[in-house]
Structure 1
Amino acid sequence: MTSSTAARAGKKIRLRGTVVGSAATYLVLCLLAVVFLTPFYTLLRNAFMTTPEVTSPHWHWLPGSLGLDNFTALFDNPERPFGRSLANSLIIAVITAPLSTLFASMAGYALARIAVPGRAVVLSLIVGTLMIPQAVTFLPTFVVVGSMGGVNTLWGLIAPGLFNAFAVVLFRSFYLSFPAEIEEAGRLDGLSHLGVYTRIILPNSITMIASLGALSFIDAWNSFLWPLMIGQDPNTWTVQIALSSFLTSQTVNLPELFAGTAVAILPLVIMFLIAQRYIVQGIAMSGLKS
């Protein structure tokens, strides 16, 4: 066998191995996609089914009809103001996400760059709050917010979520890795700490702000225990509380529950599709530097 023939044979073997490897990779990815998409398929299927179809012992791949009865009943029930609950959740998430991210960014920059007495103590206290279960703080927070008249109000639902200790730690880690020379150049131009932050630091933190803002939006949208405590009037329910009302000790309305869940996850799906790249990049850029 000549050297050219051996080279061609080796090239064919490598090409065949590449094709087989690519096919195996795509097969595995397709199987994983089916596994991850199955819950969404089941959710959408049940959202269009009737109660006998959902509870039937026999599996049905598709609903008997694609009518919108479950969705119309979802918004027509006066005892469960689902539309109002969606609006409340949207207002809370839209306000909480940017404000909590901005406050965390400011706090993270101050802890990373501004040398003030007690900075290490403040950081230790912030990190210490991450070790306290959130459920433990609900009662004292409820007492404080309730004494200020925040029960059954949107500001009472929003205010406790404006501080995010986890985001503060991530922003601090990110700003510690930021080139100090750029900040020094800004101070030589006469900028104060606030000027450096607004003109230099903030524009270069868009990826982190977008990623943590998206995570904050998702967290605010999915919040359940705090809205359950503070929002006792149905007009202040969030979408998660409205969904829980379909499962009680007396009644179980599965079709409307699935329909409501399908509507409730739509903003989260849109948010994730828009911000998934920023979420990955932001977490990768934050690091764990102390």
Structure 2
Amino acid sequence: MTTTAPRATDAPRTGSARRVRRGSAAGTTGLYLSVGVAAVLFLIPFYLIVRNALSTDAEITGQNWKFLPARLQWGNISELFDDPTVDFGRSMVNSLVVAVLMTAGILLICSLAGYGLARIPYRHANKVFYAVLATLMVPTAVTFVPSFVLVSSLGWVESYRGLIVPGLFSGFTCFLFRQYFLGFPKELEEAARMDGLGHWGAYWRIVVPNSLNFFAAMATITFINGWNAFLWPLVIGQDPNAWTVQVALSSYMTNQTVNYHLIFMATAISILPLLFVFLFLQRWLVQGIAQTGIKG
């Protein structure tokens, strides 16, 4: 019976493996610690919003800070929606209508423009694309007054048309769609054309069903932008019945009074749709941005 003597290299290898495991465990612990700290920092603003929304003005501005108010003021919700000076419920509906219709319009128009620039060959395609890019370099302040004059001359002030139509095209969204369609497999479109489909048929029956992730990502970004818009709805929605939620929020802070508890309660309620959209579409948001061709 023979025995094999341990090789001299076994001990160093074992020690090296142990060091690797310890380093890996330390790295994992550091990663979780960093993520935990980042999560706490991210959640602090939400905590402050909810805490102040359920407090009185004296508890919000008082010197003695408490983690939670002595008594949760659930009546702030009914006070917010029963306020005769601001119809907050109507403003939520207005923002929802504007954000949804603007999202649908931008997705349709910009996706068609991006698909045409990426897939339909014609002599001036690059010139049109450069013109679209040039619109990104024009400050919003330059076009604000002419846009208002045009909308006012059409009689669209204090209407959904005035709030939605001027924002139905986005040069940046068009650029993103073009970048995405440039990387879309041409073989699928060629097979569609062999079946007798034109550009429109290929776009609607082949491209769109196979690009839902990217469409969902663009829808998320566009919806958030439409919901958070403030300056243009402030100018167009001159009547309180045409106010969006952001304009309604600003009405609780005037030169004379500041209703802190209503501001925070309105803020807490107004971000619920955004949280709902983001939480349910965040997977498509990440995947869609990664597919634009501009990552890294």
TM range (shorter): over 0.9
| 1:153 aligns to 2:180 (yes or no) | no
- The alpha carbon displacement at 1:195 in A equals 0.9
CA distance in 1, matches of 2:98, 2:53: 26
- Hey, what does 1:18 align to over in structure 2? 24
Q: What RMSD in Å do the two structures reach over aligned CA positions?
A: 1.6
Instruction: Say which of 70, 93, 96 aligns to 1:64.
Output: 70
Q: Deviations over 1:164-217 (max 9, x none)?
A: 111100111111112223222221221111111111111121111100011000
Q: C-alpha distance in 1, partners of 2:68/2:54?
A: 9
Whichever residue aligns with residue 102 of structure 2, its letter is T
Match of 2:253, SS state, is: coil
Give how far 1:7 is off: 4.2
Question: By how many angstroms is 1:128 displaced?
Answer: 1.0
Partner-residue secondary structure (3-state), 2:291: helix
**Aligned letter for 2:287?**
Q
For residue 286 of structure 1, give the secondary structure of its aligned residue in structure 2.
coil
| Structure 1 Cα separation of the partners of residues 254 and 129 of structure 2 | 43
1:244 to 237, 250, 262: 250
2:262 aligned residue (256, 262, 266) = 256
Query: Counterparts of 2:20 and 2:125 in 1: how far apart (Å)?
Result: 59
How far, CA to CA, are the matches of 2:277 and 2:206 in structure 1?
Answer: 27
Aligned residues: 289
Amino acid at match of 1:152: E
Alignment partner for residue 135 of structure 2, among 120, 123, 129? 129
Structure 1 residues 246-285: aligned runs within 5 Å: 246-285=252-291
Q: Residues 141-290 of structure 1: matches in 2 within 5 Å?
A: 141-288=147-294
Q: Does 1:77 align with 2:83?
A: yes
In 1, the alpha carbon distance for the partners of 2:243 and 2:123 equals 43
**Aligned-partner Cα distance in 2 for 1:34–1:68:** 25
Counterpart secondary structure, 1:173: helix
Moved more, 82-91 or 14-23: 14-23
1:124–1:7: structure 2 CA closer, same or farther, 3 Å change rule? closer
Whole-angstrom CA distance in 1 between matches of 2:211 and 2:110: 12
Q: Which residue number corresponds to residue 3 of structure 2? A: none
Alignment of 1:75-114 (within 5 A): 75-114=81-120
Once the 2 structures are TM-superposed, how far is the Cα of residue 6 of structure 1 from its aligned partner?
4.6
Aligned partner of 2:243: which letter? W
Bigger radius of gyration among the two:
2
Which residue of structure 2 aligns with residue 139 of structure 1? 145
What are the Cα deviations for residues 105-151 of structure 1, in whole angstroms up to 9, with x where unaligned? Answer: 11100111112343222212211111112232121111111111111
Contact 2:56 2:73 in 1 (8 A): no
- Alpha-carbon distance between aligned partners in 2 of 1:19 and 1:181, rounded to the nearest angstrom: 47
Deviates more, 1:3-12 or 1:175-184: 3-12
d(CA) in 2 for partners of 1:125, 1:8 = 64
For residue 41 of structure 2, the aligned residue among 35, 44, 51 is 35
Deviation at 1:36, TM superposition (A): 1.1
Unaligned runs of 5+ in 2: 1-5
Normalised to the residue count of structure 1, the TM-score between the two structures is 0.95
Alpha carbons of 1:12 and 1:288: their partners in 2 closer, same or farther (altered >3 Å)?
closer
Structure 2 length as normaliser, TM-score?
0.93
CA distance in 2, matches of 1:184, 1:8: 58
Give the Cα–Cα distance (whole angstroms) in 2 for the partners of residues 165 and 12 of structure 1.
Answer: 55
The alpha carbon displacement at 1:17 in A equals 2.2
Indicate the percent of aligned positions where both proteins have the same amino acid: 48
Distance in 1 between residues matched to 2:48 and 2:262, nearest whole Å: 14
The 10-residue stretch of structure 1 (250-259 or 180-189) with the greater mean CA deviation from structure 2? 180-189
